[in-house]
Amino acid sequence: MNSSPATTGSQGRSLAPLYLASAVLAGLTMPIQSRVNGALGIRLGDPVAASLVSFTTGLILLVIVSLVFPRARAGAMSIPRALREKRFPRWYLTAGCVGSFVVISQTLTVPLLGVALFTVSIVTGQTLGSLLVDTLGFGPGGRRRISVIRGLGAGLTIAGVVWAVSPRMGSAAEVATLLVPMAIPLVVGFLMGFQAAMNGVQAQVYGTPVAATLVNFLVGGILLSILLLVRLPITGQPEALPTQWWYYLGGPLGCVFIGLSAFLVKHLGVLLTGLGMICGQLVGSLLIDVIVPAPGSVVNAATVAGTLLTLTAVALASTPGSMLRRLRS
């Protein structure tokens, strides 16, 4: 017997904290992935080559998973049929390019902006894109009304990120001169909201987020391969691949991030999934800077306070309207 809509909705609400915790967990993988890919880029002397290695290792892992697990295998085998039957617009496949755009924007703008301004720009774009996607009903969960509380939570999330990274930012005049390069990660972050929605739709069609993640890594890998080949006459060959195993963790971590994102947008919506991941990203960055600090990393009261404000903002945005009404009464 099929569950009634009321029962299904009740189950979704009861699992919402678990889904939100999963979004935070997915966000925790991002700073680790950035640190690993950054180290690999330095080792190879080419960040694009490092990104291609990351995509390739992730793709290999996804192929193995698709061969071993029956549901993942069935999802992978359904990809050609879904494309042939046009069960979703084919341009949704470009979701795989957005991950490549993130890497390209890092390559172009981080040397100019620094990590702090880059983070603020991409998080702001991601939050605005997620708001628009939920408002339009672009994702698999359909249209989700953006309440005043949820909008406030999104605004406070951006404020928390700015506060957390403020120790690494320059003066207001210096920031103002960098507005043009800041627009690049802002646009990329905006596209990340649509990427999550398109991945969610594909996961629903294929029957598993593994297949959607597989398509993402394949498309992104093709784009990075073309970019590397175009740059090769100018930049020359990258250095030899390292032998240490941890240099190859970036791809598997990316699989976790994209796969969980594709699964969660159906249950939480794009905005709340994005806010949870931003929260995890900040917490992960704080832990990494405390445990294994990189040169130039700064952890002080503003870093901790901004992270706590982001946690509070995400908790506020995820609070059901019915609970807020009970608290006011």
Please indicate whether residue 12 or residue 116 has the higher confidence score (pLDDT): 116
Q: Tokens at residue 66, please?
A: 């698709």
Going by C-alpha positions, the residue among 192, 221, 45 that lies closest to residue 133 is 192
Q: Which tokens in the block code for residue 1?
A: 């017997």
Mean pLDDT of all residues in 160-188: 75
Residue 10: predicted pLDDT: 52
Dihedral angle over CA of 182, 51, 221, 122, nearest 10: -20
Q: pLDDT, tens digit, for every residue of 151-168?
A: 787 888 788 877 877 776
Whether the per-residue pLDDT at 21 is higher than 70: the answer is yes
Give a yes or no: residue 158 inside a domain.
Answer: yes
- Does 5 have pLDDT greater than 50? no
**Does residue 12 have a pLDDT over 80?**
no
Tokens 């995509």: give the residue: 55
Q: Are 218 and 96 in contact (CB under 8 A)?
A: yes
CA dist list (Å): 80 to 27, 74, 77, 206, 260: 31, 11, 7, 10, 23
| Residue 7: inside a domain | no
- Taking phi over 0 as left and psi of -120 to 50 as alpha, with beta for the rest, 216 belongs to alpha
The mean predicted confidence, pLDDT, of the chain is 81
Q: Judge whether 89 lies within some domain.
A: yes
| Maximum pairwise Cα distance, the chain | 68
Instruction: Measure Cα distances from 175 to 113, 218, 222, 291 in Å.
Output: 8, 37, 35, 29
Inside any domain, residue 249: yes
Identify the weakest region by mean pLDDT among 166-180, 216-230, 252-266.
Answer: 166-180
In a domain, 267, yes or no: yes
Does residue 325 lie within any of the structural domains? no
- Contacts of residue 227, Cβ cutoff 8 Å, sequence gap at least 6: 48, 100, 104
Domain membership of residue 13 (yes or no) is no
Residue 127, amino acid: T
pLDDT digits (tens, 9 = 90+) for 287-299: 877 787 766 666 7
Q: How many structural domains comprise the chain?
A: 1
For residue 96, being part of any structural domain is answered with: yes
Structural domain for 62, as ranges: 22-320
pLDDT, one tens digit per residue, over 236-275 is: 889 999 999 999 998 899 899 899 999 998 888 888 888 8
Question: Cα separation of 20 and 153, whole Å?
Answer: 14
